[in-house]
Structure 1
Amino acid sequence: MKVSKCILRPACLAFGVFILVSKPFFALAQTPSNTLATDANNLSFEKRAPNKLQASTHQQELFETQQYLEQKISDIEAANGVHHVDVSTHLFILAQIYREQGDKVKARNTFERSLEVHRMNHGLYDASQFAIVEELIATNRLLESWIDVNSNYEYLYWLHRRVYKDDENKLIDILNRVVNWKIEAIERQLLGDRESLAKQARNLANKANKIIRSNNIANEQGE
């Protein structure tokens, strides 16, 4: 696939950061990641009309689900140990419940624990971690914990590099997303050293451009 369009944003121009992409930065940010295979797929919360009775019913449902999951986790840990594989699955769902209830700090801590248990069971370089890290990014954004958001993005990129070490093409989207985040942090002044962020963004953009150029050359040679 030949890519010729260059997306330039103000901060890109100011710091000399640009990247050849096949779709805009913010579109890439919405690209779905690998999903964690959990019972979360069976858990859905309806969007309800904003009246007090329905809101109360929804909160009651959340509370009951929270209690069920907390007890389930306790039972699994008692029977099989705190690092049993099913603990991570239930923690992942429970963290979403906490966040829905408005307890973002508890949600973040629970996602982090889910990730820890998951890594112990599936190894350091397992793609199903992606979904947990994505939820950590979303939760830390809600908390406006920008240093943690930055760490989450960098870990997500590191993880993609390990998982897709034999297929660089699969790194293009995550490279674009991390560049997009660095530029956002510069524009909104979310982190301290703008020059350092710009340098990081340039380096990542260069990596993505190198992969894209290699693909274009290979395609041209194959024509």
Structure 2
Amino acid sequence: MFYRQHIAWGLLIVGCLQFTAVVSGQCLVQDTEQEAGEIDDSIDTEARALEITQELAARQLTIENIQSDLGVYDQSLVEIYNDLANFYVELEDYDNAVRYHSEALQITRINTGLYSHEQIPILDSLIQNNGRGERWEEVDNLQELYYFVNSRLFNYEDLRYLEAAEIYGNWKLRVVRENLLAQSGRELLNTAGELSLFYERVIEGVELQPAASREDLLAVIYGKSQIDLTLARSVARTPYTAFEGTENPYINQTRCSNVRNSQGQTVRQCFTVQVENPRYRLSQREAKQFALVRHTRQISRSIAMLEGIKNSSTKLSNSEKQQIEVQIAELVTESEQLVQASRRLF
């Protein structure tokens, strides 16, 4: 019995040693494979870095040769600069991408004019890459230029003009909603008000064109309704005391009292004082109400235009008409809620 127990313990120990050896061997193999993988990754990274360096050097040499042979503003440089900028985009180096797209834009404007078709795709690339770098002020300037160039190239009835107007409007609406330019409250309201007027000018301009299709205005009309809602919300949230009334804040009043003079006689003495004008607060309430009515009236006008297009159009599909109905219902509901909320805040 004692002999069999020792044999069993011996076999158990041998088995454990064999298992440990197998596990250790597997770990050693795994460690070796991991180290080999890391070495391969390192080699691949170094090879890629070398490839990129050589590629950039070759492109830079091409640029220098063209500049030397044909001049720094030769039109052939535009394509090379754009290709180099796109190469930097692949590397996620947006600063250099912007740098070379800017070079391409400058040469294009010199050679083809300030309002040429050729610069539109370059401006689009600059907007995208500045946006990736969150350089919002630069994006805003480029959006202004993008719309301005398109407005000089295309007429109101041209769909390319309307597309540019929609892009510009969507950007400005985002600026207001996200405050991308770190504007004050008053500055944001000014930006929103200017955008509403911009949409109004676009709508009026398109409606005056005999060949223009009213269906093409749907996105612009809806965009205007959204910025007018933003303005109406701001007015509804603002206390009436923040509005400038039409009456004077203070009025003069004459007050008199009986006093004794130096001879001991009672005399009546009068003087003028400034007191708060009770009509001023009333005019402040009226100013807020007028501002809210102005914006909700614009929303109602947009609703009427959307309904008119939906009901008279033979081009829109049923699904498109249903989408317009949804938009109208949302606009009606929200404008009514704003009016009710504003009354509670007066």
Query: Which bin holds the TM-score, normalised by the shorter protein?
Result: 0.5 to 0.7
Quote the residue 1:207 is aligned against: 201
1:86 to 56, 76, 90: 76
Shift of 1:170: 3.0
Number of matched pairs: 173
Letter aligned with residue 128 of structure 2: A
Contact 2:78 / 2:107 at 8 angstroms: preserved in 1?
yes
- Mapped to 2, the partners of 1:206 and 1:54 lie a distance apart of 60
Letter aligned with residue 111 of structure 2: N
Does 1:189 pair with 2:152?
Answer: no
- Mapped to 1, the partners of 2:166 and 2:142 lie a distance apart of 15
Quote the residue 2:116 is aligned against: 126
Contact 1:172 / 1:211 at 8 angstroms: preserved in 2?
no
2:154 to 159, 164, 167: 164
Contact 2:156 / 2:205 at 8 angstroms: preserved in 1?
no
**Residue 66 and residue 200 in structure 1: after superposition, are their counterparts in 2 closer, same or farther (change >3 A)?**
farther
Which range moved further: 93-102 or 136-145? 93-102
Does 1:107 pair with 2:97?
Answer: yes
Q: Alignment partner of 1:126: what SS?
A: coil
Q: Which has the larger radius of gyration?
A: 2
Shift of 1:208: 3.0
TM-score, length of structure 1 as denominator length = 0.67
Quote the residue 1:6 is aligned against: none
- Mapped to 1, the partners of 2:154 and 2:188 lie a distance apart of 30
Q: Which runs of 5+ in 2 are unaligned?
A: 1-39, 215-308, 313-346
Shift of 1:59: 5.6
Taking only aligned residues, the RMSD between alpha carbons, in angstroms, comes to 3.0
- The equivalences for 1:26-175 within 5 A come to 52=41, 56=45, 62-165=52-155, 167-175=157-165
**Residue 58 and residue 198 in structure 1: after superposition, are their counterparts in 2 closer, same or farther (change >3 A)?**
farther
Q: Alignment partner of 1:202: what SS?
A: helix
**Residue 65 and residue 210 in structure 1: after superposition, are their counterparts in 2 closer, same or farther (change >3 A)?**
farther
Contact 1:62 / 1:101 at 8 angstroms: preserved in 2?
no
Q: Which has the higher helix share?
A: 2
Does 1:179 pair with 2:179?
Answer: no
Letter aligned with residue 162 of structure 1: R
- Mapped to 1, the partners of 2:90 and 2:50 lie a distance apart of 12
Contact 2:156 / 2:206 at 8 angstroms: preserved in 1?
no
Q: Which runs of 5+ in 1 are unaligned?
A: 1-50
Quote the residue 1:13 is aligned against: none
Contact 1:137 / 1:153 at 8 angstroms: preserved in 2?
yes
Identity of aligned residues (%): 20
Q: Deviations 1:75-134 (Å, cap 9, x if unpaired)?
A: 100101100111111111111212322322222121111100111111112112111000
Q: Which has the higher contact order (CA 8 A, sep 6+)?
A: 1
Letter aligned with residue 204 of structure 1: F
TM-score, length of structure 2 as denominator length = 0.44
Letter aligned with residue 75 of structure 2: V
- Mapped to 2, the partners of 1:62 and 1:180 lie a distance apart of 37
Letter aligned with residue 200 of structure 1: E
Q: Alignment partner of 1:144: what SS?
A: coil
